[in-house]
Amino acid sequence: NAGVTQTPKFRILKIGQSMTLQCAQDMNHNYMYWYRQDPGMGLKLIYYSVGAGITDKGEVPNGYNVSRSTTEDFPLRLELAAPSQTSVYFCASGATNEKLFFGSGTQLSVL
Amino acid sequence: GQQVMQIPQYQHVQEGEDFTTYCNSSTTLSNIQWYKQRPGGHPVFLIQLVKSGEVKKQKRLTFQFGEAKKNSSLHITATQTTDVGTYFCATEGSGGSNYKLTFGKGTLLTVNP
């Protein structure tokens, strides 16, 4: 049972490049989330999903896109990367009214 | 989603001292969760509180949910160096379903051995 798996762990992008952060969970959870965490700061919700085919914006969605074609996968897409998107990205999943399980994070630098 | 204010932002203690972090909201919360994040790690779930006035204990950690369900606290008795990390409270959006969980800014605890 792997839990929540995020790839890659580290990535450096140039301004204007695109990339997809992968997230997969094997716990059959309906809910999945993407958060970003800037140094010394809290977690800000980017996008979330309540089930396959359903996604919605969080607090800071600009510059990102998501899709949820299966229960297991919830990739986060960055288009036209900007330095302001330098952060640590966490994916999480959970069942109804229960705790969240977090992945180990992706450290992204945009230079 | 619900907005929660967490205080203090930082707390430095000597090993053996107690520590408390508070989470406050201007609106009634349906429930609240607490997470711990070790330096360089990811958040790990500690507890969920649902009932008004609820108190739960995990060894040296005591969690409380206010009577009005607008505030919560986490108290650590006799801190140890293993308690170092950032403690977050988290709460869900409206509707009573755990689908839009937003986090407080966290309290960073450092412990001097």
Indicate the number of domains in chain A.
1
Over residues B15-54, the pLDDT tens digits come to 999 999 999 999 999 899 999 999 999 999 999 999 999 9
CB-based contact A45 B102, cutoff 8 Å:
yes
- Could you list the residue range(s) of the whole structural domain that residue A79 is in? 4-110
Mutate to test the interface with B, among A43, A46, A89 (most CBs of B within 10 A): A43
Contact predicate A68/A49, CB 8 Å: yes
Q: To which H or E segment does residue A19 belong?
A: strand A19-25
Angle at B38 between CA A13 and CA A45, to 5 degrees: 55
Q: How far is A103 from chain B (nearest CA, A)?
A: 7
pLDDT digit string (tens) for chain A, length 111 residues: 679 999 999 999 999 999 999 999 999 999 999 999 998 788 999 999 999 999 999 989 999 999 999 999 999 999 999 999 999 999 999 988 789 999 999 999 999
Residue A37 Cα to chain centre, angstroms: 11
Chain B nearest-CA residue for A103: B42
CATH number of the domain enclosing A105: 2.60.40.10
Angle at A73 between CA A72 and CA A74, to 5 degrees: 135
Residues contacting B102, CB < 8 A, separation 6+:
A45, A58, A59, B1, B2, B3, B4, B90, B91, B92, B93
For domain B5-112, the question of CATH label 2.60.40.10 is answered with: yes
